[in-house]
Structure 1
Amino acid sequence: MTDNDNGIRGRIYFPGSPWPNGHQIASFNWTALLHPQYGSYISDASRRSPALAMCFELTTEDYYAKDGTHLAAGEENEDDDDASSDDWRSRVVWNNYNKCWIGPSQTSSAPGIPVSDGTKPFDFTCDEYYFSANPLPVDWNNFFQEQAFGIYLLGHDAVADHKIHLHSRQPDGSYTLDWSGKIALYYAGETDFEYDFIARVEGVRFDAISLFYVNPTWAKEYFGLDLDPNVTPHQRIAPFVANPDDFRIEERNGVLHAVYRT
């Protein structure tokens, strides 16, 4: 694995694809969001209560990059399967879509993985964590409205059965992350989760909690909620994190974030 500018080292593998050695991860973010309507952990919850949700996001280098170097013109077709091969095994098809992104769903009303409903705060100092989301089988009637993560792979596909393990905590607070899941090539009309991804990333550190969803103006506009504008950001996160004093409030692109200590 190769270091990126932010110290992240990682690769992602898609078994059976044209690249058995996988792809370097160009960027990786571990963040969270505080959502006023996420609900509890129960699947039939009304989703009216707030919750803290973990968000993980990765982007790969270009598919056609080879150990950090782009292939020469025409070289990308040398090892491609014949025209009868399926999309998963075709290097030409993959290169049409450039790179992979997996991150908090942009179609879901509740993206990410809930970790606290305010009754038991989340502790950011543990030695390891296990998270999971969207186990199989999925209900296609509401899958895209409730999926934790979206994926752009060979188009806007579907990803489920996430298993995430953060471990090997270092003195600087960074972790090694192992993330696996199942993929359906939904963009091509498939609904079977017959493909896999496996990612390992080193040097992962928690960044910040987005408070976009608890902005009083936006909460009213998007959710019809009347939030007290006098409640401070620290007061908002206090029920959900075990160590609220370890966060500082910072504005990023017009959105308040509770940034974790470095």
Structure 2
Amino acid sequence: MNASISSNRIYFQGNPWPEGHKIKDFQWTLEIIDAEVWFHFHLVTDDYYAERDIEDDENLDYPSEWNAPIVWGNYHRCTISSTDWHEGGFKVCEIDKYSLDFLNELELSVDALPCDLNDHDAKAFQIYLLGHDTVVDHCIKFFRIERTDNFRIQWNGKIALTYVGDYEPSHQFNLEIASVKAPTLYFKPCLIVAGLKP
């Protein structure tokens, strides 16, 4: 990831805010599906204009909606989620392989291109950006912070503005979460009592 990227901010390459946007909420959860570990992320940004409002220049011909501050202002903030609108998420490993050591320096590719951008429910994540758009081609990396349960996460992916009918994933986002606690597997002992029915 670029050294100029600050932690706990998300950057939409080429949008009106090159300094990025603050991440207000980030949740990392775990689910077991058929003896496999799956992760879920839920991310919400601050309002796009929260730190710096931009006056829209009526005399300027913006190349696309992506470049126009007023368009971003109409949609307020971004949510990227594997849980908010559908049952998404992404596979990590078999359950018996999962540990914090295994997770350290793990790099995962999720919904790699080429893929069908029409099937939103089949994707790991859905996104509300400039409307309900599409997010694919994720690269997610985990870095354990010393010997703690916390991790630094680097995440980038591509966006297609499908809300307005653009199915080309030509826009990129990237972010870094400075420190977040990893979800833990808890195994409850199974008590088996042998006996005869009366």
- TM interval, short-chain normalised: 0.7 to 0.9
* Structure 1: stretches of 5+ with no match in the other structure: 1-8, 36-48, 210-231, 237-262
CA contact (8 A) 2:42 2:80 kept: yes
**Which residue identity does 1:64 align to in structure 2?**
Y
1:50 Cα deviation (Å)?
A: 5.0
2:25 to 18, 24, 27: 27
Superposition CA RMSD, Å: 2.6
Structure 2 CA distance, aligned partners of 1:14 and 1:81?
24
**3-state SS of the aligned residue for 2:75?**
coil
- The count of aligned residue pairs is 183
Aligned to 1:113: 90
CA contact (8 A) 2:10 2:20 kept: yes
1:83 Cα deviation (Å)?
A: 4.7
TM-score (norm 1): 0.62
1:54 Cα deviation (Å)?
A: 0.8
Aligned to 2:193: none
- Residues 1-262 of structure 1: matches in 2 within 5 Å? 9-35=7-33, 49-66=34-51, 71=53, 76-78=54-56, 82-104=60-82, 106=84, 108-109=86-87, 111-118=88-95, 120-126=96-102, 127-140=104-117, 143-207=119-183, 234=188
Structure 2 CA distance, aligned partners of 1:169 and 1:156?
34
1:205 Cα deviation (Å)?
A: 1.4
1:234 Cα deviation (Å)?
A: 2.6
- Percent of counterpart pairs with the same letter? 33
Structure 2 CA distance, aligned partners of 1:134 and 1:80?
38
* Structure 2: stretches of 5+ with no match in the other structure: 1-6, 191-198
**3-state SS of the aligned residue for 2:8?**
strand
TM-score (norm 2): 0.81
Deviations 1:21-64 (A, max 9, x none): 111111111111223xxxxxxxxxxxxx4532111221111100
CA contact (8 A) 1:10 1:24 kept: yes
Structure 1 CA distance, aligned partners of 2:86 and 2:14?
29
Structure 2 CA distance, aligned partners of 1:130 and 1:123?
15
Deviations 1:167-211 (A, max 9, x none): 1523432121110000000111110000000101101212467xx
**Which residue identity does 1:53 align to in structure 2?**
W
CA contact (8 A) 1:18 1:80 kept: no
* Structure 1 residues 135 and 105: CA distance shift in structure 2, 3 A: farther
The structure 1 segments of at least 4 consecutive aligned residues displaced by more than 3 Å after TM superposition are 78-81, 105-109
* Structure 1 residues 168 and 106: CA distance shift in structure 2, 3 A: closer
